[in-house]
Amino acid sequence: MRLSVVVTMGALALPLPAAAFAQSADFSGKWLCNGLVLSGRAAFSFGQICDITQTGAQIAGLCKGPNGGGSLVGVVNGGAVDFTLQLTNTQNPKLSGVLTFHGKISPDGVYRGTALDSNLPGVTGQGAMMKL
């Protein structure tokens, strides 16, 4: 009898799976969104601090980085997040465009996934976002 109580208590102390995390995701606050899209000699890297608000499953916010910033809109679905970021590059306006991110939560709480840049059509890169 005592052994079964110990086993049950031990089972309650196990870490929660990533899916349990995802159900309580709150995107309100400041996030670091960064990544890299490579295509031959062309490369687009991004690093933005985004101030995001969440209403239900919808997210929106403003982002700022070293070369400009833009507006972010997206949707949260369980442990996944999808957003687009309309970027304006103040240093080189020809590099302004739309960044698209599709990510899932990792066990460490960082959302990792794919990044697409409208300046490099058809090329998929890597991106991540983490709450600050």
8 A C-beta contact, residue 56 and residue 75: no
8 A C-beta contact, residue 85 and residue 33: yes
- CATH 3.40.50.150 matches 17-131: no
* 6-64 pLDDT tens trace: 333 333 344 444 444 445 478 999 999 999 999 988 888 899 999 999 999 999 999 99
Collapsing DSSP to helix, strand or coil, 19 comes out as: helix
Domain boundaries, the chain: 17-131
CA 96/CA 89 separation, integer angstroms: 5
* Residue-wise burial string across 82-104, b where 16 or more C-beta atoms lie within 10 A, e elsewhere: ebbbebebeeeeeebbebbbbbe
pTM assigned to the model: 0.78
